[in-house]
Structure formats: C-alpha cells, structure tokens
Amino acid sequence: MKIFLIIAFSFIMPQSHSDLINSVWARKITPTANNTLTFKRGGVVLEYDCELGYAFHSTYKLSGDTITISGKDDSHSEDNGKILSYWITSYLIRGNGLYMIKNKVSEQGKWKIYHIKRKEPDYKKVKQPANI
C-alpha cells in the first residue's frame, strides 16, 4: 500500500523548476529521429527540430502542472533576420509525459489558437536532471 501511495503521489505532484532543469524530453518523428525539449536555467528551453536540424532558443513558464513554451522561428537565414512566426504552446505534465493542451501560432501577424486533447504524450522524459 505504501508503494502504491508513493507512485500515485508522484503522478499528481506538479513538477518544480529544479525538476525540469537539464531534463530532456523526446518526441519520436521517425524510427531514428526525435524532436527534443531540453530545459535550462532561467526559463530557457532548447526546442530541437530534427527535420530542420535546428535548435530554437525559446522560453518556458511553469504554473502548477502546466508548462507554457514561447518561441519564435529564427531558423530562416534567407529572411535577413526577420521573424515571421511565433508560437505559445501549453503542455500538461503527467508523470513522465508532456501532453499538448493548447497551441497558439502567429504567422505573418495572424494568430490561430488550437485546443488539443491527447490520449498519448507528445513528449516523454528521456533524461532526468542530475542532482546538484
């Protein structure tokens, strides 16, 4: 019974910033390639896109069991540094999974909002942060 309570408690306890720092979460794109989220200190998250071979330097905020990532697409050098798209994505943290619940995207100044309900996580934790 004690083990059951510990396991159940770990699933309902929200993450803390220290639990996220240096953690890596992966989303399988192909059998051999993953997109990843790597959470850093100071609210910075590296969003690696395996198809572009590019890591976006985005920011995150944690509120209870929800993490919100804000980013911009600065991957196109042909645009002379002009940012054409932005995103704000919210994930529900459940155990070792991140479930997308809302995605807000701006392309050329027009925002679109998508509310999403997933049964499977979009990202799964693949690396625990080292205890510091």
**For the segment 18-64, what is each residue's pLDDT rounded down to a tens digit?**
678 899 999 999 999 999 999 999 999 999 999 989 999 999 999 99
pLDDT of residue 16: 57
pLDDT of residue 128: 73
Domain ranges, ordered by start, for the chain: 2-127
Local structure of 92: helix, strand or coil: strand
Alpha carbon distances (Å) from 52 to 29, 49, 56, 75, 101: 12, 5, 10, 8, 24
Q: Which amino acid is at 97?
A: G
Identify whether the C-beta of residue 77 lies closer than 8 Å to the C-beta of residue 100. no
Write out pLDDT tens, residues 84-120. 789 999 999 999 999 999 999 997 789 999 999 889 9
pLDDT of residue 9: 40
